[in-house]
Structure 1
């Protein structure tokens, strides 16, 4: 957590973040921060904050890419994740499948964000 707190994206500033790279760097670090907090404390509020950061980032990406549906995809992914059995109860095959699906979705989102950086 101390390392994450040192990222400039989390430092207080009076200036609004307007650049594409800065916006998505901020959301990435913010989501990672809340995920790390949840992992270390198991406080549900931290999980909710992580989910909110992810949904906000996906909603913003949708607004800037014609025909994008990242917000709906992320919301559905989060609904599905909370309706499934706890991770402790999952067999390793199912967990591997979840991870692979997350990697695929992550790559798609990275490509979309990269298209904004060059566009």
Structure 2
């Protein structure tokens, strides 16, 4: 079993993907659930090389970014994610890694800011 598959199995032990009686009802839980879901699909895509997990990863990421856009005025994270996914799928992904890393940091800052604002 590949390292990625092992990591996906370990991720399944995290509390975020575990079903609960009440479901996910809080802000932090929602964002951490989507982070775990995207990471799980990315790890499985890496382990299998299959398109199914990659498509699931992309769908989960677009859903999470759409939710973030709905909760942050003027945000366009979903559109940026669509652009990055198209770039990645085009085979012309020059610079996609650096762009994705920058986008990831922007998204993390936005989520942390949203959580801090909600906590006030």
TM-score (norm 2): 0.85
Alignment of 1:81-100 (within 5 A): 81-85=88-92, 94=94, 97-100=95-98
- The alignment covers a number of residue pairs equal to 110
Shift of 1:72: 0.8
Unaligned ranges ≥5, structure 1: 88-93
Moved over 4 A (4+): none
TM-score (norm 1): 0.85
CA RMSD of aligned residues (A): 1.4
Q: Which moved more, 1:18-27 or 1:51-60?
A: 18-27
Which of these residues, 76, 81, 90, is aligned with residue 74 of structure 1?
81
Which of these residues, 13, 25, 29, is aligned with residue 6 of structure 1?
13
Which of these residues, 28, 34, 37, is aligned with residue 27 of structure 1?
34
Aligned to 2:105: 107
Is 1:42 equivalent to 2:49 in the alignment?
Answer: yes
Unaligned ranges ≥5, structure 2: 1-7
Any idea what the Cα deviations from partners look like across 1:32-82, whole Å, max 9, x if unmatched?
111111111112111111001100000000000111111111011101110
